Amino acid sequence: MELVVEAGRWRRERLPKAPLNDVFQDALMIRPLPRTKTGGIQKLRYALQLETETPTFVLHMNRNVQLHSSDQKYVENIIRKRWPYTATPLRIQYKGPDRSKKQQQGEGSALRPHVDQRKKRSPKAGSRRYQ
């Protein structure tokens, strides 16, 4: 019965972002994630916990890459080694940068006003441009 109570407690436990990131940075310095097929380096930008009822962790990566199952198990073991999630399944999601082609090319930005929406300026008196 003690195991059930402890599993229930850890199922609702919220991990702070800073210690979670510290544990991952230390572990990934010892064994870094493998390179991508194109030779790029995979890096963890930061990790955080979203949900607690079924502990869900989101790891924000520098690239959109699927990790091999052994690397996914390594990441899960990093969490389990530091925090005793006894008899509790963990959900781990990996997110890459959120970029569309338009954002990469600089087109279609919502922050940049369209030509039609710009304020028309009246010429200043004595300005060389309007003489």
Q: For residue 104, is it within any domain?
A: no
**CATH classification of the domain holding 25:** 3.30.300.20
pLDDT at 23: 92
Residue 83 to residue 77: CA distance in whole angstroms: 10
pLDDT tens string 48-97: 998 878 889 999 998 887 888 998 999 999 988 988 887 888 899 999 88
Q: Record the pTM.
A: 0.66
pLDDT at 66: 80
Residue 4 to residue 24: CA distance in whole angstroms: 28
Three-class secondary structure of residue 60 per DSSP: strand
Q: Into how many domains does the chain fold?
A: 1
Residue 131 to residue 124: CA distance in whole angstroms: 10
Q: For residue 126, is it within any domain?
A: no
Higher pLDDT pick, 124 / 39: 39
Q: For residue 14, is it within any domain?
A: yes
Tell me what the mean pLDDT of segment 14-40 comes to. 87
Task: Tell me: pLDDT of 120 over 70.
Answer: no
Q: CA-CA distances (angstroms) from residue 92 to 14, 44, 59?
A: 15, 13, 7
Tell me what the mean pLDDT of segment 93-122 comes to. 61
Burial 83-112 (b: 16+ CB within 10 A, else e): bebbebeeebebeeeeeeeeeeeeeeeeee
Q: For residue 52, is it within any domain?
A: yes
pLDDT at 33: 85
Which residue range forms the structural domain that includes residue 91?
Answer: 2-99
Tell me what the mean pLDDT of segment 119-129 comes to. 58
